[in-house]
Each structure stands twice: as C-alpha cells, then as structure tokens.
Amino acid sequence: MPELPEVETVRKGLNQTTLNQPIVGADVLLDSAIAHPCPVEFIAQINNTTINHWYRRGKYLLAQLQAPSQPSNPIFTSKDPIETQTSDGGWLGVHLRMTGQLLWCTSDQSLPKHTRVRLFLPEERELRFVDQRTFGKIWLVPPHLAVMDVISGLRELGPEPLSDEFSPEYLATKLRRSQRPIKTALLDQSILAGLGNIYADEALFLARIQPTTPSCRLSPDQLNRLYTHIVAVLQQAIADGGTTIRNFLNVQGVNGNYGSHAWVYQRGGKPCRVCQTPITKIKLSGRGTHFCPMCQPQLNCDLP
C-alpha cells in the first residue's frame, strides 16, 4: 500500500502537471471505484471544474476544485486543517489503497488493463486512475461541504508525522498506557497519519527498538530516538520518490528509489547492513515485520 512518502510523491507530481487546467470530461470504467456520488453524477459534476491545488492528509490525496467561471482561490492556510475547509468548486478525494496509481498520460497512450477512471484535460492529456486490486476509491465532495463530511475516514486521523503536532511528548502521551507492540501502535492511523509498514520497520530499526516491545515500556530516550527517526526516514523516502515494491509508480510512471537502500524492510534473511546478522521477518498483527535481532533493541550499535 502506498504510504505517506509515496502519496506525497504523487501529490507533488500532480501539482506539477494538472493545475489550472479544466477537466473537460471523465469516464468511469469501474463503478465501484467512485465512492461518492454515483458515477453518472460524478461525471456531470466534475466536468469543467479546474484543479487549484492538490493536498495530502495521511494517505489521502485531496484536490481543491475551482467552479467554472470562478477565480482561482486556494483557501488553505497553515492554521486551517483540511477537514474544516469548503470550496466553491468542491473537492476531489483519492485513496490509492493497496495498488492504486494516478498516471499523467497522453490520450494516445495505450490504456492499462486495470484503468478504472479517466479524467480528460486539454491538449489530449488525461489523468488515469489505475488499480489492479480495486480497493482504491475516489470521492467528489460537493461545493460548500467540508471534506470530512463526505470522506469520513479523515475524521479518524491523528497528526501528520512531519507537522508541529508530532513530538516525543505526543508519543509519550499516546503510548504510556498501551500494551500493544510498538509496531502495531505506529500503524494505527488515529495515532499517526500516513505512517505504514515500510517506514515503521525502518524507523524502529534506526531507533534500535524491537517491534514487539510493548508501547508503554519505551523509555524517554527511546521515544526521542523513535520520533527523530520517524521524521528522518519519511523525509529521506520523500526525497527518494518513495518505495516501489510491486505497484507504486509516480504520476510519470517512474518507480520510487528508497527500497534500494532500505535497512530492513523486505530484507528478511539478508545480512544486516550494520552487523551482518540475518534480518528476521515475523508476522505481527497480521503484517510482515522486519528487524535485526542483534541491533534491536541493543543500544550500542553504531547507527547513524
């Protein structure tokens, strides 16, 4: 599933390719890809709107739409959370889920087998939603409604890991009474929005914390390290364009590069990059989890 760095990579690409161009038509090839409204209304309502800007909240992509004949007027400020905003042109919301892709194409490019929705733009360009597993969803939020009134999952999200709301103190408050393994807690989107399996494994390795450690047993020093490495890993992954394991592509169809130098993720049985001990892979709360049994939780490994 695309995580925060992958979704942020897509967001940046969409802002480089799709802004200030009218959507001159749409085609829904799989009705279930449209979560709201019905496909016929989706096509009618999105026609002739213009994308002012793409935003990200957790793993959601959100485009502020401009109504026909209305001036461009992005309305977010740093103090206005996405969930409370309305827009004269409504909002386009996308969740890629496991295998979703948004691809910026010319209209003469062959249609991928699993194309679910097409948005047509000027100069024979289009934005295609491709999704092999069909779990991804698209919403069209009507004008003058807040995004969270239609996309209910936004109500459940915790703070962004790269925001001022996230801190070691925040982690301490959220985890101090939790018996859940720390890896499981980090995947809870109500605690931290956007963090997923790949980067939880990576941050825990760099913080020298065993993924199965009960959350409430983390020391202040461990919480500080964990905070630092969550932020650093996400920033590095964004700089690398995310991670491609199977399906992730940016809007130009290019793979992400982070996976080529991942510390532990998808490296089960391979030697640790620090101590050469084989990386262990286990199932934890139903998710594949990777760690080094020597470096985690030992405190004396020479890690960056």
Q: Which residues are catalytic?
A: 2-3, 59, 287
| Interatomic CA distance for residues 187 and 193, integer angstroms | 9
Which amino acid makes up residue 181? P
Place of tokens 């605690």: 191
- The CA–CA distances, whole Å, from 38 to 41, 153, 271, 290 equal 5, 19, 51, 41
Q: Are 90 and 138 in contact (CB under 8 A)?
A: no
Query: Residue 36: CB partners within 8 Å, gap ≥ 6?
Result: 42, 139, 140, 141, 150, 151
What single-letter DSSP state applies at residue 152? G
- The CA–CA distances, whole Å, from 225 to 109, 198, 222, 252 equal 47, 18, 5, 35
Please indicate if the annotation marks 114 as binding a ligand: yes
| Interatomic CA distance for residues 146 and 131, integer angstroms | 27
Identify the H or E element spanning 223.
helix 220-239
| Interatomic CA distance for residues 280 and 293, integer angstroms | 7
Identify the CA nearest to 210 among candidates 236, 181, 239, 190. Answer: 181
Please indicate if the annotation marks 229 as binding a ligand: no
| Interatomic CA distance for residues 302 and 275, integer angstroms | 9
Which residues are part of a known binding site for DNA? Answer: 114, 133
Which residues are part of a known binding site? Answer: 114, 133
